Amino acid sequence: MDDSGDQSITCPVLPEASSSSPPAAVPLRSPSSFPSGRVSFLPAINRRTLRSYIDDLYDCAEARQYQLTDYIAIHDRLRAQEIRGDRSERQLRDVQEFAGPIRQSVNKQYNNLRDSWADAEQKIAEFQEELADQEERLQEIPILKFSLLKLKAARHDEQEKHRCQLAILQNELKSVIASSKDADDQAKLKIENAKTRFAARQPAIMRE
């Protein structure tokens, strides 16, 4: 940044005529200022002094122009930083809005799998109760032992089948939980990165 933008510029003042060699006076009539009709005089200025004064005025105008250019550049930079800050805030809001639906979808899938797991466990408990009832009947009626053994084997196969299904559901549930955690971590990481970028740019904006 140019330091000239912070310095005050003072334009030159027309110097008074030297008292050592009094020049000729130029009469100036001002009826409105002197209604009595008196005549006032302005000191005459030689051509060299007037020329130097005009050059100083040009230099002052040029310095003022440079100063104005610096002020415009500073304003443009501040405006650009403000636009970048607004863009960072919009990106942060977009990331937060994007993370919300993902979290809801993962929670819904998790709840569905948890309900399926509970249903499978309930069916296994029912099969176990039914198997216990059949074993009691087998003890009471020996003739049904062979049939009960066949039923027990069938129930055992069915139970193994449901156990396999339960294991599959457990694996799917673990996978969904892992993907949910990864998606949640990614969303949190994006939010933290956006906050970090915004926080890193804010001090620069405040300084300038």
- Domain edges within the chain: 3-207
Rounded percentage of the chain residues whose pLDDT exceeds 70 = 71
**In DSSP terms, which residues pair with 42 in a beta bridge?**
26
pLDDT at residue number 9:
54
Confidence of residue 22 (pLDDT cuts 50, 70, 90): very low
pLDDT at residue number 83:
92
Confidence of residue 28 (pLDDT cuts 50, 70, 90): very low
pLDDT tens per residue across span 90-135: 888 888 777 778 778 878 888 888 888 888 888 888 888 888 887 7
Q: Token pair for residue 103?
A: 């979290």
> CA-CA distance, 31 to 66, in Å (whole number)?
43
pLDDT at residue number 43:
53
More confident residue, 61 or 19: 61
Find tokens 């209604």 and name the residue.
35
pLDDT at residue number 79:
92
Continuous H helices in the chain? 47-140, 145-207
pLDDT at residue number 76:
92
> CA-CA distance, 78 to 87, in Å (whole number)?
14
> CA-CA distance, 127 to 21, in Å (whole number)?
129
Cα separation of the two ends of the chain: 10
pLDDT at residue number 147:
74
pLDDT tens per residue across span 159-197: 888 889 888 888 888 888 888 787 777 888 888 877 777
Contact 124, 162 (CB under 8 A): yes
